[in-house]
A and B are shown apart, each in its own frame.
Chain A
Amino acid sequence: MLDCRGMRCPLPVIELARHIAEVDIGSTVAVVADDPAAAADVPAWCRLRDHEYAGAGIPVDGAPSYLVRRSH
């Protein structure tokens, strides 16, 4: 899990880019972000960086989470 609560765009996506290599290829990281821009930006980042956006995850204390599967 990548806790990006309290971060404003583009910080959640920057955090994701910094930490994606810390999960194994094929594994999933949940980006928890309360910034509404993350809902669009996390899937768009996955598309631009050729990772897989695996949909919404379980909210953490009301903050949405976004699942990203490392593809390479």
Chain B
Amino acid sequence: MATLAAGPDRDPERWTISVRGVPDIPEGYLDAASTEPLHPAAREVLLAALDDGWADPARLYGAARRARLLLDNAREVVAAVLGARPDEVSFTASGTQAVHLGVLGTALARRRVGPRVVVSAVEHSSVLHAATTHAASGGDVTQVPVDRYGRVDADRFAAALGDTTALACLQAANHEVGTLQPVAAVADACAGHGVPLLVDAAQVVGRLPVPAGWTLLAASAHKFGGPAGVGFLAVRHGTRWRSPLPQDERGSGRVAGFEDVPGVLAAAAALRARTEGAASLAASQATLVDRIRAQVPDLVPDVEVVGHPEERLPHLVTFSCLYVDGEALLLELDKEGFAVSSGSSCTASTLRPSHVLEAMGVLTHGNVRVSLARTTTAAEVDRFLTVLPGVVQRLRSTAGVDRL
């Protein structure tokens, strides 16, 4: 039986527990940017915490104090990774909820400053939807365009900031094409204007160092092997923020409702495990991604590899195959045992192409996003590179476009 540390020493070391019988990530799973299966460390802690961390952390009896202690342990671990103080960190039900609360709560609290929210054109849909809600209640939203690589220009972003800017939002890295954004330079500009900066760090937390300079930070646990249903919202001390939802005394007044103590603990355990090995995993993943980036254009005719060639996430690569239906490509790759995602419109419930690919001005059809899981091997990548050319060739041939 696994045990959890909640003694006076609150030593997170004791969270490291031997793991038995944990299923592997399926071979060919190349969609880590959507989600990763639970990390073994998170699984053990989750199971133990279901028995040990069930009580109401807001109460005063023993079991409740234990739940509170577990929650605070997790908060310390998460805060250290995010570069925050523990009392700046709240746990949400998702990364999306963290973004919604961060955007709307800051815009609401700074309404007297002005109506403007500045975002990049390639933010995650949670940011853009929150901005739309802000606009619907009388705010205005400025979108900063990106270059062909999907990267914003820091000077151009800075030029969009003004005296009436309530909030700026910039992702740490793009979730569809892997391009890193110039967060440090934009953070400097925001600081110069006294504008809070919300950084959506969902794609970097647990993988790369969290960029400094944020005022609010949002992330999601299931992206790095924590459980789904846990997000992080960090808000720097002194930031004006007011809940856009009804008041609630839980979640430090930021996030309404009873905390998922086991889920949060499991998220912290996964984060701790992933952060420890992050640098070496990133280096080996970057090598494999480089191999895909270099070989796909040689192996497959008429392919556009998109995203920044150097300033990029280590585990994610995206390319578009001319004249190929994105949905058909995904289904054929699935038959070959590969799970990937796509920004093509035919794969979207909205039937609109990815706003990221549109903003970059690159091909939106025949799009494939490959994102390596923590267990992805060189052999899997090589098999993908072996299978892909034939799949694309077959689809083009069937559609009669192989000679266009």
Interface residues of A (CB under 8 A from B): 8-10, 13-14, 17-18, 35-37, 39-41, 43-45, 47-48
**26 interchain pairs, CB-CB under 8 A:** A8-B351, A10-B322, A10-B324, A10-B366, A13-B323, A14-B404, A17-B401, A18-B404, A35-B345, A36-B352, A36-B353, A37-B344, A37-B345, A37-B353, A37-B364, A37-B365, A39-B358, A40-B353, A40-B358, A40-B362, A41-B364, A44-B363, A45-B322, A45-B363, A47-B361, A48-B322
Chain A residues within 8 Å of B344, by CB: 9, 37
Bound-state Cα–Cα, A67 to B366, Å: 22
Give the residue name and chain of the A residue nearest to B148 (CB): A47
Interface residues of B (CB under 8 A from A): 302, 304, 322-326, 344-346, 351-353, 357-358, 361-366, 399, 401, 404
Question: How far apart are B353's CB and chain A's nearest CB, in angstroms?
Answer: 4
- A9 and B304 contacting across the interface, CB-CB below 8 Å: no
- B363 and A40 contacting across the interface, CB-CB below 8 Å: yes
Give the residue name and chain of the B residue nearest to A9 (CB): B365
Q: Quick one: which of A14, A18, A40, A47 contacts B364, CB cutoff 8 A?
A: A40
| Known A14-B399, A37-B352, A41-B363; further 18 A-B contacts with Cβ < 8 A | A8-B345, A9-B326, A9-B344, A9-B345, A9-B365, A10-B325, A14-B323, A18-B404, A35-B345, A36-B345, A36-B351, A40-B357, A40-B362, A40-B364, A41-B353, A44-B304, A44-B363, A48-B302
- B302 and A9 contacting across the interface, CB-CB below 8 Å: no
Chain B residues within 8 Å of A14, by CB: 323, 399, 401, 404
Bound-state Cα–Cα, A48 to B363, Å: 9
Chain B residues within 8 Å of A36, by CB: 345, 351-353
Bound-state Cα–Cα, A45 to B361, Å: 10
Bound-state Cα–Cα, A36 to B364, Å: 10
Chain A residues within 8 Å of B323, by CB: 10, 13-14, 17
Give the residue name and chain of the B residue nearest to A8 (CB): B346
Instruction: Point out which of B322, B364, B365 has the most chain A C-beta atoms below 10 A from its C-beta.
Output: B365
Bound-state Cα–Cα, A36 to B358, Å: 10
Chain A residues within 8 Å of B365, by CB: 9-10, 13, 37, 41
Chain A residues within 8 Å of B366, by CB: 10
Bound-state Cα–Cα, A39 to B361, Å: 9
- A44 and B404 contacting across the interface, CB-CB below 8 Å: no
Chain B residues within 8 Å of A17, by CB: 323, 401, 404
Question: How far apart are A20's CB and chain B's nearest CB, in angstroms?
Answer: 10
Bound-state Cα–Cα, A8 to B324, Å: 12
Bound-state Cα–Cα, A39 to B324, Å: 17
Instruction: Point out which of A14, A17, A43 has the most chain B C-beta atoms below 10 A from its C-beta.
Output: A14
Chain A residues within 8 Å of B345, by CB: 8-9, 35-37
Give the residue name and chain of the A residue nearest to B404 (CB): A17
Bound-state Cα–Cα, A48 to B401, Å: 16
Give the residue name and chain of the A residue nearest to B306 (CB): A44
Bound-state Cα–Cα, A8 to B304, Å: 20
